Amino acid sequence: QQQVKQSPQSLIVQKGGIPIINCAYENTAFDYFPWYQQFPGKGPALLIAIRPDVSEKKEGRFTISFNKSAKQFSLHIMDSQPGDSATYFCAASQETSGSRLTFGEGTQLTVNP
């Protein structure tokens, strides 16, 4: 069974803090690792994605760190804002086969003003 383990389940930070969400995967054939942001009543929206040939990727305030040997990747949100309060999902897939995404369990992030 392909699995992606995500932690923590929930996270509360103050405005300006740097929440970090971690994911670990088992299948070494995975080669595409996206993060999705989901607000209540909405579908997941792609936030940022990384491939295993790089160890870090930044887009605005969002950074993915990737550790291929440990089979782990994490999302960092710099200067977090109350508007970042949402549920975040990591995922993984095997691009070469066009396979479906395998999702982590999700992290509910609350950023207090």
User: Is 17 a residue that touches other proteins (CB under 8 A)?
Assistant: no
Cβ pair 4, 102 in contact under 8 A: yes
Question: Using CA atoms, how far apart are residues 40 and 112, in angstroms rounded to an integer?
Answer: 17
CB of 85 to other proteins, least distance (A): 16
For 39, 55, 67, the CA distances from 107, given in Å and listed in that order, are 12, 22, 20
* Token pair 């405005």 in the structure block, residue: 15
Does residue 20 bind other proteins (CB under 8 A)?
no
Distance CA 35, CA 77 (A): 12
Contacts to other proteins from residues 28-87, by CB under 8 A: 32, 34, 36, 41-46, 49
Tell me the closest approach of the beta carbon of residue 74 to other proteins, in angstroms: 17
Asked if 88 is part of the footprint of other proteins (rule: CB under 8 A), the reply reads no
Interface ranges with other proteins (CB under 8 A): 32, 34, 36, 41-46, 49, 89, 91, 93, 95, 98, 100-101, 103-106
